[in-house]
């Protein structure tokens, strides 16, 4: 939170980085941006915070790598239901930020 507050105070743009695959060029800095740009590594935010067994919900941090998320869910008998080609490198936050998709979505008729 202190990093975000400091960036706001000094008018610095933050671009979060997760797995670093950059398949969608998400870390590419906009050429028209004149402010300083800082990339913020989300790697230490890599945990599942809780799993709600009665509602089949999970809360996880943005930096968790897809393969780790899937393994931890599988250990409890669940699946994420999302499997992009870059699952072993890409992060949950990256999936959300880039509206990622994978082949498994066809099973869900999406």
90 assigned ligand-binding residue: no
64 assigned ligand-binding residue: no
Q: Two tokens at 15?
A: 């671009």
20 assigned ligand-binding residue: yes
79 assigned ligand-binding residue: no
18 assigned ligand-binding residue: yes
102 assigned ligand-binding residue: no
26 assigned ligand-binding residue: no
101 assigned ligand-binding residue: yes
59 assigned ligand-binding residue: no
Cβ neighbours of residue 66 closer than 8 Å, sequence gap 6 or more: 19, 80, 82, 83, 84, 86, 87, 88, 89, 90, 91, 92, 95
Provide the β-strand partners of residue 16. Answer: 40
DSSP state of 65: B
66 assigned ligand-binding residue: no
Binding annotation? 16-22, 98-101
Binding annotation for FAD? 16-22, 98-101
């Amino acid at each position: 939170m202190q990093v975000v507050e400091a960036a706001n105070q000094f008018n610095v743009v933050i671009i979060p980085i997760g797995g670093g695959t950059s398949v969608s060029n998400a870390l590419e800095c906009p050429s028209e941006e004149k402010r300083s740009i800082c990339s913020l590594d989300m790697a230490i935010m890599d945990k599942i915070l809780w799993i709600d067994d009665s509602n089949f919900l999970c809360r996880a941090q943005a930096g968790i790598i897809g393969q780790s998320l899937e393994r931890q869910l599988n250990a409890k008998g669940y699946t994420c239901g999302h499997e992009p080609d870059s699952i072993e490198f890409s992060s949950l936050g990256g999936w959300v930020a880039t509206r990622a998709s994978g082949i498994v979505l066809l099973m869900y008729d999406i």
